[in-house]
């Protein structure tokens, strides 16, 4: 119990602080926690992609506003999975919803179009690396 | 000590924290208002600590509070990955790059530079102090000039709410040291940095109070309500 006190303190402070802020404009659906977990455990790409997909779908279903960047992030996750054609759908959505994203999204769409077709899936780098996933290959999971 | 007693104590502590947290020094927003950014590019976070995970972890806390201030926020993970592909995996390189050129790659109005100065858990006898410290700088993409900046430090101590005597304190300190949770502190730092009126910046174009919340009233202590409020007093600069 005592060992939990600091955790409790943090939780209470966080909850109360949240009350200090106005209700959120966007339906985030744990976008930030999903990204944190992605950086903490980059091997688990499936969880990252699934979390983004859920966040996109739920934000649309709730009729609340999909937050800026979410479509693009999901599109990029698909792109990294080698699903260039699918990624374009979401880059287009981001661009349509957020005019500020036009320059970047047009770049992404060009990249995806270039990759779409018979080009093999990207050899990913960085935190989302280890994704040179071939269908049927068994991956080591932590 | 009962659980409710503890909760009550903690709640009052949290409230005290908010009371101080929501009052902040006034700032000169002239440069910010003149630049009138609509979109913010949060570039990869510069790390001045030995904790190699800190920059990525911290990056994940930025989109929500920034977007909730009413700005378009570029997808931070996508941006980071693109920069890595461009050979800019080192945040230091990105931070030293020409802001105008960097912003042009993405079509951004403003760039947010965050530097982590502290991200540490120190175990001192019977207590662990977890501290985070950040510098925030917002630059105008057109001119490359600084249009806003802030500095935040957040700390929590394993001992602050302990009631179990020495053993309890030692256990708390050990738990906090073994698994320090930086993320709530980082989120609080962001919330405080971006609170407005306060150190944060005025509402962006996606908030209803866009361009209505400045010049701000001097003594207002609550975040602006959803309905735009006319400025109560013109602020002498």
Q: Which long-range contacts (CB under 8 A, 24 or more apart) does B175-183 make?
A: B175/A3, B175/A6, B176/A6, B176/B121, B176/B128, B176/B130, B177/B121, B177/B123, B177/B128, B180/B121, B180/B128, B180/B130, B181/A7, B181/A10, B181/B130, B182/B54, B182/B57, B182/B119, B182/B130, B182/B132, B183/A36, B183/B57, B183/B61
State the pLDDT at residue A6: 55
Chain B nearest-CA distance from A137, in A, is 25
| pLDDT at res. A65 | 87
- Which residues does chain A have with pLDDT short of 50? 1-3, 118, 125-142
ipTM confidence score: 0.77
Positions of chain B with pLDDT lower than 50, given as ranges: 1, 13-24, 216-222, 224-225, 228-237
Task: Residue window 141-200, chain B: list those with CB within 8 Å of chain A.
Answer: 156, 158, 160-164, 168, 171-172, 175-176, 181, 183-184, 187-188, 191, 195
Q: Write down the pLDDT at residue B169.
A: 86
Q: What is the spatial distance between Cα B81 and Cα A124, in angstroms, rounded to a whole number?
A: 9
Query: What pLDDT score was predicted for residue B177?
Result: 83
| pTM of structure | 0.76
Q: What's the confidence (pLDDT) of residue B83? A: 96
Residues of A in contact with B39 (CB under 8 A): 100-101
**Tokens describing residue A98:** 């957020």
To test the contact with chain A by mutation, choose from B9, B14, B203 the residue with the greatest count of A C-beta atoms within 10 A, namely: B14
pLDDT value of position B200: 92
Coil, helix or strand for B218?
coil
Interchain CB distance below 8 Å, B191 and A69: no
The pLDDT of residue A16 is 53
Instruction: Please tell me the predicted confidence (pLDDT) of residue B145.
Output: 96
């Amino acid at each position: 119990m005592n060992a939990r006190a600091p955790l409790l303190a943090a939780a209470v402070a966080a909850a109360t602080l949240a009350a200090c802020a106005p209700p959120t404009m966007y339906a985030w659906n744990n976008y930030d926690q999903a990204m944190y977990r992605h950086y903490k455990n980059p091997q688990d790409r499936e969880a990252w992609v699934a979390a983004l997909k859920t966040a996109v779908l739920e934000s649309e279903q709730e009729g609340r506003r999909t937050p800026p960047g979410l479509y693009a992030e999901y599109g990029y996750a698909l792109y990294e999975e080698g699903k260039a054609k699918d990624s374009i759908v979401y880059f287009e959505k981001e661009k349509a919803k957020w005019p500020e994203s036009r320059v970047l999204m047009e770049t992404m769409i060009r990249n995806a179009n270039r990759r779409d077709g018979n080009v093999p899936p990207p050899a990913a780098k960085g935190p989302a690396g280890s994704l040179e996933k071939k269908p049927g290959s068994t991956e080591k999971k932590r | 000590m009962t659980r409710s007693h503890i909760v009550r104590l903690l709640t009052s502590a949290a409230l005290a924290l908010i009371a101080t947290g929501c009052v902040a020094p006034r700032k000169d927003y002239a440069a910010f208002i003149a630049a009138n950014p609509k979109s913010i590019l949060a570039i990869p976070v510069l790390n001045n600590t030995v904790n190699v995970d800190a920059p990525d972890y911290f990056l994940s806390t930025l989109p929500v509070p920034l977007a909730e201030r009413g700005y378009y926020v570029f997808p931070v993970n996508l941006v980071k990955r693109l920069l890595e592909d461009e050979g800019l995996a080192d945040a230091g390189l990105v931070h030293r790059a020409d802001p105008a050129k960097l912003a042009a790659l993405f079509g951004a109005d403003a760039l947010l530079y965050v530097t982590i100065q502290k991200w540490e858990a120190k175990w001192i006898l019977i207590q662990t102090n977890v501290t985070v410290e950040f510098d925030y700088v917002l630059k105008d993409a057109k001119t490359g000039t600084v249009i806003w900046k802030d500095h935040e430090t957040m700390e929590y101590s394993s001992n602050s709410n302990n009631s179990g005597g020495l053993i309890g304190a030692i256990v708390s300190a050990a738990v906090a040291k073994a698994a320090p949770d930086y993320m709530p502190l980082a989120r609080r730092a962001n919330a405080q940095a971006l609170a407005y009126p306060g150190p944060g910046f005025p509402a962006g174009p996606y908030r209803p109070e866009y361009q209505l919340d400045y010049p701000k009233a001097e003594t207002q202590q609550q975040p602006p309500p959803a309905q735009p409020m006319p400025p109560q007093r013109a602020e002498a600069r």
